[in-house]
Structure 1
Amino acid sequence: MSHLFRGVRLINGVADAPLAEVDVFVEGERICSVLPHGTGGPVPEGVKVIDGSGKTLLPGLIDCHVHYTFDPAVADFSANMARSDLDVAASATTQARRALGAGVTSARSAGAQRNIDIWLRDAINVGQTPGPRLQAAGLAIGITGGHGHMFGIEADGEVEFVRAVRRQVRDGADVIKIIASEAAMLTTTGLRPGAAVFGRAEMCEAEVHAVVEHAHRLERRVLAHAQGSAAVINAARGGADSVEHAFLADEAAIECLAEHSATLVPTLVVTDVNRSMPGLSPVQRERQGLIERLHRASCERAIALGVTMATGTDTGEPGVTADLLWREIVLLHDHGASAMDAVKAATSNAAALLGMDDSVGTIEPGKLADLVLVSGDPMLDLATLAHPELVMQGGRVYRPERVSDE
């Protein structure tokens, strides 16, 4: 079916300002033309016209850090990991549908128990369930006994890390997720007993480099969980394509990110949510507030230094549901990015990070018709992104309230 978005305000993911009064014609799954309003001639018979008056059309949003197989309603990490495959698959499809309804048309899974995100990717691809186009990492790779060891692959030394990369590629992973540091939070039970979790480095630079070198040889990109400064430096110097979180990264670590042209996926939503989680003790609440403030400072440094930013929510963490990417965009803006740069972090920047920029991330002829229509002007109020009127993925229209094909 063909669609014409008529007279929309256009944020195309390329220009630094919205374009007024634009007609966007979609034929089948792709964008056919982008023209000034009224210059495209008569509307062909059978084309569904969507009135864009007072509305803004954006590229489909991209979430570069999700865990759809984790249930955000289950705060106990061990209990979350112990759920049956059927339970995990059911909640994963629910989160994927929720993300699509919120305008997320593509996403990168940053790790899943038992490679279930690979199944989810395939189910979405063949149309068994609606959801974002998904790049799946499957099992994350980290050191023996390190952060996330209970749902990933344990490896020590360059040889074992390379073997783990090969295993994940064999099992269908699109990307490789490594755990380069401890966590910086302790809001749930089920983590290592007595662990002093302050984001300290767990992988050395040589191990990161071995993973990256081999993954790139196998045409897979690498995302590195790195929260403290030493881990961020190891990940950047080791060549990771993106560094995730960087909650506690100091000025030297952020400068290293800039020097090595690594993309930062700060996952600001997770610390924003964690500081106000119910059930925290006064000590935990104080600690989460401190981490959030340090995280803010780290992100502000990165934006000021011009580090390339891409959005990720860490969906699946306690309280972090799949419909919060709009909030990540707002937080980027609050931390110093312009409104347009914050949107680009969720569109063109994210597409480039995922290696999908030849098909998504911008509104240009020939690209896949992944589009989000919202009321008003996000450049005046980014919170308008929280309530899409319409989501299109590959030319298929989804109504956010029910996420079903028309």
Structure 2
Amino acid sequence: MFYIKIILLFIGFRRLYMSEQSVIKSKVMIDMVSKNPIEDGAVIFEDGLITLSGNYEKIKNKIRSDAKIYDYNDSVLIPGMVDCHTHHNGFGDGRSGDSIGEMEDNILTIKSAKNAKTSLFSGVTTIRENGPKNVTMMKLRDAVNQGLAIAPRMVLCGRPIAIIGGHMGYFGGEVTGPVESLALSRQLIKEGVDYFKITATGGSTATSFPLRPSFSQKELDAVTNEAKNYGLLTATHCLSMEGIDNSLNSGVDMIIHCNFDNEKGESKFNEKLAEKIAKKGAYVNPTLHVGRARLWSLEEGNNPSLGGGEKRTYDETKQVLDKKRLSSAIRSDRKDILEARLDAAKLGLENKLDHCRRMIDMGLKVITGSDSSWGDYSLGNTFHETELLVESGYSNYEGLKSVTINAAMALGLGDTAGSIEKGKSADFAILKNNPLDDIKNLSSVEEVFLMGQHIERGSDESNKTYSQIKPA
């Protein structure tokens, strides 16, 4: 009798201190590890980490009697998606970055919290933020850590590093010279950033020069060398070939946009430069849909601000500076100008798709980074970017890799996210339809899990509000 009491006492203590076990069952599981999708897939997780996954019949003996079971036997289970390029300060309604830079930080932090829910509800469980104002996203991370808000796992740059008057300089990270570049890098490290975002060329910012490099080689080197000293990754915004080349010379880890344009605005794929990208091992985030989103907006008769990849030459940029206001230089109700913009948007998208196809054919590491909510690209629609990568040459499976395991590896999170395997974070998206049949099925999200927690997404109707579709 004494021994029975001891055994019962042991069982009681074991149950008291044992972690809660949860199990997801699915019709199909795409774990990004196995050669083929797993029929009747299941994953077991405890304390936010995956402990076992595979065919349900093969692992069911490891499921405890008190486990919490999530039965999605008519659905597809994939890892939570990873978006390598987001802007949660934004609106995705065509307004310019310049106008966002004029808004109060507190308002942008609140907007970011709202946007973060949209991203998470769409099945994106990890984001890399590519340019908020000041410490707005750092404040959101603090709020999440205190249980005041929910958001995907966030990889933050704090604010972009820009030259005076350069692209995104209005977000609070303007420098000039190697000394100031190094000083801001150290300040950002002090503030707790996860990586450095550098605007190596101009962009849609009114006072910037999109087709010319922003930083000298010494300025770039000051930032990238400090990043290496602290084990941080770097990514550069590049709208010209010279910007790409300078970035590669500094050992940047990711090229964003990767536009093969010269200083005259002529767009022509440069195989030698692409080979250099491959040799350096840099990831490429081509940001295809942001241009298509602008095209869709123009086709609907809207007149959005510059922000979806439209080019400006040196002379055109000077006109913007002369007029002092972005709106006066790039907004117009004249039919001929609107038609010219529409034609330019179509040609720009064609060039981007062609160049992306060539990079994929050459074996470059092209990953999904949406660039939402920049310009007209609304958050919650990361799948559009992956869709265009598939249109550019990826198979559906390769497209799925670009927004899961490959994206996670690009962010240095290959041991944490991007696949369903033991020891990784229990981040999942439950889909109604199989993305291996059609990559657009990434939009058919039914349920989301982040670090083992089931996320309450609200009604299906409320989740439709962020869907972005091609105009009829």
TM-score (norm: length of structure 2) = 0.79
- Among 24, 30, 50, the alignment partner of 1:5 is 24
- Among 199, 203, 225, the alignment partner of 2:237 is 225
- Among 234, 247, 255, the alignment partner of 1:235 is 247
2:211 pairs with 1:191: no
* Matched letter for residue 12 of structure 1: D
* Corresponding position of 2:309: none
Q: Alpha-carbon deviation of 1:402? A: 5.6
The question of whether the paired residues in 2 share the 8 Å contact of 1:389 and 1:399 is answered with no
The question of whether the paired residues in 2 share the 8 Å contact of 1:89 and 1:116 is answered with yes
The question of whether the paired residues in 2 share the 8 Å contact of 1:8 and 1:51 is answered with no
2:132 pairs with 1:117: no
Q: Alpha-carbon deviation of 1:156? A: 2.7
* Corresponding position of 2:228: 216
2:33 pairs with 1:14: yes
2:193 pairs with 1:173: yes
Q: How does 1:48-63 map to 2 (within 5 A)?
A: 48-63=68-83
* Corresponding position of 1:279: 303
- Among 400, 417, 439, the alignment partner of 1:382 is 439
* Corresponding position of 1:140: 160
| Cα gap change, 1:340 to 1:205, in 2 (>3 Å) | farther
Q: Alpha-carbon deviation of 1:16? A: 4.5
Q: Alpha-carbon deviation of 1:7? A: 4.4
| Cα gap change, 1:305 to 1:15, in 2 (>3 Å) | farther
Alignment length (residue pairs)? 396
* Corresponding position of 1:344: 401
* Matched letter for residue 19 of structure 1: I
| Whole-angstrom distance in 2 between the partners of 1:204 and 1:291 | 27
Which one is further off, 317-326 or 199-208?
Answer: 199-208
SS at match of 2:412: coil
SS at match of 1:276: helix
* Corresponding position of 2:467: none
2:428 pairs with 1:371: yes
| Cα gap change, 1:41 to 1:338, in 2 (>3 Å) | closer
* Corresponding position of 1:36: 55
The question of whether the paired residues in 1 share the 8 Å contact of 2:82 and 2:404 is answered with yes
| Whole-angstrom distance in 1 between the partners of 2:446 and 2:440 | 13
Which one is further off, 105-114 or 81-90?
Answer: 81-90
| Whole-angstrom distance in 2 between the partners of 1:219 and 1:151 | 24
Q: Alpha-carbon deviation of 1:261? A: 0.4
* Corresponding position of 1:77: 97
- Among 182, 202, 221, the alignment partner of 2:214 is 202
Q: Alpha-carbon deviation of 1:39? A: 2.1
| Whole-angstrom distance in 2 between the partners of 1:7 and 1:313 | 28
Q: Percent identity?
A: 25
| Whole-angstrom distance in 2 between the partners of 1:224 and 1:94 | 27
| Whole-angstrom distance in 2 between the partners of 1:116 and 1:402 | 29
| Cα gap change, 1:361 to 1:65, in 2 (>3 Å) | same
* Corresponding position of 2:12: none
Q: Alpha-carbon deviation of 1:198? A: 4.5
SS at match of 2:77: strand
2:289 pairs with 1:289: no
The question of whether the paired residues in 2 share the 8 Å contact of 1:247 and 1:291 is answered with no
Q: Alpha-carbon deviation of 1:298? A: 2.0
Which one is further off, 375-384 or 46-55?
Answer: 46-55
| Whole-angstrom distance in 2 between the partners of 1:199 and 1:86 | 33
The question of whether the paired residues in 1 share the 8 Å contact of 2:449 and 2:455 is answered with yes
The question of whether the paired residues in 1 share the 8 Å contact of 2:196 and 2:234 is answered with yes
Greater C-alpha radius of gyration: 2
Q: Which has the higher helix share?
A: 2
Which one is further off, 82-91 or 145-154?
Answer: 145-154
Q: Alpha-carbon deviation of 1:116? A: 0.8
| Cα gap change, 1:279 to 1:159, in 2 (>3 Å) | same
SS at match of 1:62: strand
- Among 331, 340, 346, the alignment partner of 2:388 is 331
The question of whether the paired residues in 1 share the 8 Å contact of 2:26 and 2:76 is answered with no
* Corresponding position of 2:355: 298
* Matched letter for residue 206 of structure 2: L
| Whole-angstrom distance in 2 between the partners of 1:153 and 1:364 | 39
SS at match of 1:128: coil
- Among 354, 357, 369, the alignment partner of 2:411 is 354
Q: How does 1:71-110 map to 2 (within 5 A)?
A: 71-73=91-93, 75-110=95-130
* Matched letter for residue 123 of structure 1: A
The question of whether the paired residues in 1 share the 8 Å contact of 2:433 and 2:444 is answered with no
The question of whether the paired residues in 2 share the 8 Å contact of 1:135 and 1:174 is answered with yes
2:351 pairs with 1:318: no
Specify every segment of 5 or more residues in structure 1 that has no aligned partner in the other structure, as ranges.
Answer: none
| Whole-angstrom distance in 1 between the partners of 2:191 and 2:26 | 46
| Cα gap change, 1:166 to 1:15, in 2 (>3 Å) | same
The question of whether the paired residues in 1 share the 8 Å contact of 2:234 and 2:253 is answered with yes
Q: Alpha-carbon deviation of 1:191? A: 1.4
* Matched letter for residue 154 of structure 1: E
| Whole-angstrom distance in 2 between the partners of 1:261 and 1:361 | 20
Deviations 1:354-395 (A, max 9, x none): 111211111001111001111232101111111211100011
The question of whether the paired residues in 1 share the 8 Å contact of 2:425 and 2:452 is answered with yes
Q: Alpha-carbon deviation of 1:12? A: 1.4
| Cα gap change, 1:354 to 1:247, in 2 (>3 Å) | same
SS at match of 1:57: strand
2:269 pairs with 1:246: no
SS at match of 1:373: strand
* Corresponding position of 1:397: 454
* Corresponding position of 1:260: 280
| Whole-angstrom distance in 1 between the partners of 2:21 and 2:381 | 30
* Matched letter for residue 421 of structure 2: E
The question of whether the paired residues in 1 share the 8 Å contact of 2:26 and 2:77 is answered with no
